[in-house]
Chains A and B, each alone.
Chain A
């Protein structure tokens, strides 16, 4: 697998893909399985990358790939309905078409992490861009040291990929926490950084962090407090992306364009920007 796959679908205009399957994940969140309507070229991507999905007549949005990178026959995207375009996508049914451009952007450093321990921290829908990485790590389990997944959600009912989390917990350490819960919840209660205090961070660890920016900020600082170097902490940034090619400047983040230089950054590259309110 390449560390960052180059686009295999046209990048300046959307290519139609057919919705093969829709999986309702949460009331406002769903997963599309897409197959190309025209060409049958394999779609190669690296975990952490994203596509631009076009809801015809409504617009385009950047959505991370959340499927298995080894399965090059279809595209898996997990989407949260947070606005007009994603609302239009949620209304689509099996057999309908969406436009796809991509894949774009940088990816999780899975090649560079070979032989090292991997700590994954996800919050809310941030688990989706990390799921591809988890598939990859599990498929290549012997090439990594300890693998841990710490996942936080607002409440137990908002947990994404609950069945898979259960399955993964048989193979790697999975810690779950919710901000609040009813008494029948057997996971932890509190924000995801609380799980760090219960887990010893072993040396030679690379951390992959994805979730809302405020959650990534807290996690990154907590990881540094545990002794990780900023260069070993990776975050996936989100900004308003339009062209996805690094041309339009809409996703500018300090000296970077998130669509082109990101979305995955090592924390040492963005730590300074994390501290600036206006960025």
Chain B
């Protein structure tokens, strides 16, 4: 028999929310739902309103941007990664496409709902933002390293 698991339990297992109180997770779970995406389906579209984020449970998502010459993948997110940060701050607009490259199971969290709840409960807001700030720092540092083009720097003196 398939065991039905509540979002609450799934959030409690996610490293992102480790250390949060059950009551806080219950509030977050109230903004969440489970979703499945088939390969090729978009989780987010560039330019559209950013009103949710995804906690990937299984599968892989590519963050992409389309250029005149084709599509460029700038990052990939796998199990236990978060996709979608633009819902946090105005103008709430997605900056990249997010496309499932495999079957993806995710917890979808509603941004507007979360903003409302964290605004009312500042301790919840602090716990939530602390975790998201760490994630965003990690992403920013990774993006800066990509910008450095670290593999393209041979020593010209040893030429």
User: Which residues of A line the B interface, CB within 8 A?
Assistant: 61-62, 80, 82-86, 123-125, 152-154, 158, 179-183, 185-186, 188-191, 193-194, 198, 211-215, 218, 238-241
Return chain A residues, CB-CB under 8 Å to B70. 182
Report whether B149 and A182 are in contact in the complex, using a CB–CB cutoff of 8 Å. Answer: no
Report whether A241 and B151 are in contact in the complex, using a CB–CB cutoff of 8 Å. Answer: no
In Å, the complex CA distance between A84 and B75 comes to: 36
Closest to A85 in B: B159
B133: interface (CB < 8 Å): no
Q: Contacts A80-B154, A152-B151 known; A179 to B146 CB distance under 8 Å?
A: yes
Return chain A residues, CB-CB under 8 Å to B154. 80, 82, 125, 212
B29: interface (CB < 8 Å): no
User: Which residues of B line the A interface, CB within 8 A?
Assistant: 62-64, 70-76, 78, 99, 101, 142, 145-146, 148-159
Most chain B CB neighbours (cut-off 10 Å) among A158, A185, A212: A212
Q: Chain A's nearest CB lies how many Å from the CB of B134?
A: 13
CB within 8 A of A180: which of B78, B145, B146, B157? B146
Report whether A238 and B146 are in contact in the complex, using a CB–CB cutoff of 8 Å. Answer: no
Report whether A183 and B152 are in contact in the complex, using a CB–CB cutoff of 8 Å. Answer: no
In Å, the complex CA distance between A26 and B126 comes to: 50
Summed over the interface, the residue pairs from A and B with CB atoms below 8 Å come to a total of 92
Q: Contacts A86-B159, A240-B157 known; A179 to B72 CB distance under 8 Å?
A: no
Q: Chain B's nearest CB lies how many Å from the CB of A250?
A: 9
Q: Chain A's nearest CB lies how many Å from the CB of B139?
A: 9
Return chain B residues, CB-CB under 8 Å to A240. 155, 157-158
In Å, the complex CA distance between A240 and B158 comes to: 5
Report whether B151 and A238 are in contact in the complex, using a CB–CB cutoff of 8 Å. Answer: no
Report whether A123 and B76 are in contact in the complex, using a CB–CB cutoff of 8 Å. Answer: no
In Å, the complex CA distance between A198 and B56 comes to: 14
In Å, the complex CA distance between A241 and B158 comes to: 7
Return chain B residues, CB-CB under 8 Å to A153. 151
In Å, the complex CA distance between A182 and B74 comes to: 9
Given contacts A189-B76, A191-B145, 7 further A-B contacts (CB under 8 A): A152-B151, A182-B70, A182-B73, A190-B75, A191-B150, A214-B153, A215-B150
Q: Chain A's nearest CB lies how many Å from the CB of B135?
A: 11
CB pairs A–B below 8 angstroms (15 shown): A82-B154, A82-B155, A85-B159, A124-B152, A125-B151, A158-B151, A179-B151, A182-B73, A183-B64, A190-B76, A212-B150, A212-B152, A212-B154, A213-B153, A240-B157
Q: Chain B's nearest CB lies how many Å from the CB of A98?
A: 15
Return chain A residues, CB-CB under 8 Å to B158. 61-62, 82-83, 238-241
Report whether B72 and A154 are in contact in the complex, using a CB–CB cutoff of 8 Å. Answer: no
Report whether A83 and B156 are in contact in the complex, using a CB–CB cutoff of 8 Å. Answer: yes
In Å, the complex CA distance between A112 and B79 comes to: 36
Report whether A218 and B150 are in contact in the complex, using a CB–CB cutoff of 8 Å. Answer: yes
CB within 8 A of B62: which of A189, A218, A238? A189
Report whether B74 and A191 are in contact in the complex, using a CB–CB cutoff of 8 Å. Answer: no
Q: Chain A's nearest CB lies how many Å from the CB of B66?
A: 10
Q: Chain B's nearest CB lies how many Å from the CB of A252?
A: 13
Closest to A191 in B: B145
CB within 8 A of A185: which of B73, B155, B156? B73
Q: Contacts A82-B159, A241-B158 known; A180 to B73 CB distance under 8 Å?
A: yes
Closest to A250 in B: B157
Q: Contacts A179-B146, A179-B149 known; A189 to B75 CB distance under 8 Å?
A: yes
Q: Chain A's nearest CB lies how many Å from the CB of B77?
A: 10
Return chain B residues, CB-CB under 8 Å to A194. 142
7 nearest A-B residue pairs (beta carbon):
A83-B159, A124-B151, A240-B157, A82-B154, A191-B145, A215-B150, A212-B153
Return chain B residues, CB-CB under 8 Å to A125. 151, 154
Return chain A residues, CB-CB under 8 Å to B145. 191, 193, 218
Report whether B150 and A181 are in contact in the complex, using a CB–CB cutoff of 8 Å. Answer: no
Most chain A CB neighbours (cut-off 10 Å) among B62, B63, B75, B158: B158
Report whether B73 and A183 are in contact in the complex, using a CB–CB cutoff of 8 Å. Answer: yes
Q: Chain B's nearest CB lies how many Å from the CB of A235?
A: 14
